[in-house]
Structure 1
């Protein structure tokens, strides 16, 4: 495959996925028509984000995916994946999410890190801790652009790891709370619907942050001060209907809330 044909293919897949997200409809999976490897899929992902940036959005962080051993086994992979977050994805704390533009939204509880100093490459746990300016309970809204959330590894990477939105609770002093094994609770309209532990995130969410720094370096990026890193899900993703109130809470970290319409 020529370089120009490859670039055209990346641009075409990015346009297809971006336009599907804007229209709130599903799209054909790239692997249905092309032999897409993960490296090329990440090029598609970056091209999708570049289209969003061209519309005025700004990159403000990253989200980690496949951070549970069970999910890695299910997808036949031995490493995490990541996607990029923009300011348009951030939902104000206690705010309202309009689900009308989403296709098949789901929500999952997360631990978030606020980056206080640049972080990139192979870093030690101590270096990762020093780079953290805050830690918080968070949630991510997922929305696959593929029918029935059915995809291969390259497909989901190209689709920005199913990122659609996210919210973060109040930032806490990272020195005052150990995020390694916190209980998380998800409530919908006041009813508990899921519980989990932050230990489900690679055994410790800090390992996800370390992986994010490594992946950032591989992509020619760094985790910048002010960026947010969503470390991964503590439970399976839950269907997110309209007209509900969701509260995600974690001992020692407080809560993050959102309503849907």
Structure 2
């Protein structure tokens, strides 16, 4: 199974980019974040025309929104609410064959890494705490689970272009990384990307729109992640950040991440 996760930053605006992804990478499953469209306007027919007959989504106008597109049938679909809000940051499915797939868009957290003065940062930390409780309570040994999405955290020093300059900047602070580590431990998740892009190698999936030449400057961060349960670890065959999609005209600021998993 070829699985892609991508913060698309408006699925309707970037349908042509999705077509190019399908033509060049031929994924079996795509997980979108920031679809930015109400459910009644979601481009179901356009995406089904690309071969994804099975689609599960939850959206709202202009903000957030997540979706799972699949050539593999779903046995079940669901979506959970977090932090007492209905802001469309999670959907999950059970693929035929029993694999549980969760797609998350974790809050960005604003600009000030202080939960006492920044409600957006407090929301992010609460969201991570609730995810950690959920992961611990729902974990069962032997279950085949995949969790993907825009986590809005770059945990490793090699996940950012400059650790010293960014260590007090939201996405790379100690408090966020500690929360992410707890979440990973709670579900015994394995970082599938770092199985094939080794931890001492720089790896980015997001580059600011402010950089005129993002490739040359390469001031990126790895905000997008693919985690698998231990039962799927040995099946992870490859991982690639699809940089060419970030280089298209009017792109998302995120590049898609594709992993190949033997299921």
User: TM-score range with shorter-chain normalisation?
Assistant: under 0.3
Q: Give the structure, 1 or 2, with the largest relative contact order (CA under 8 Å, sep 6 or more).
A: 1
TM (norm. structure 2) is 0.27
TM (norm. structure 1) is 0.27
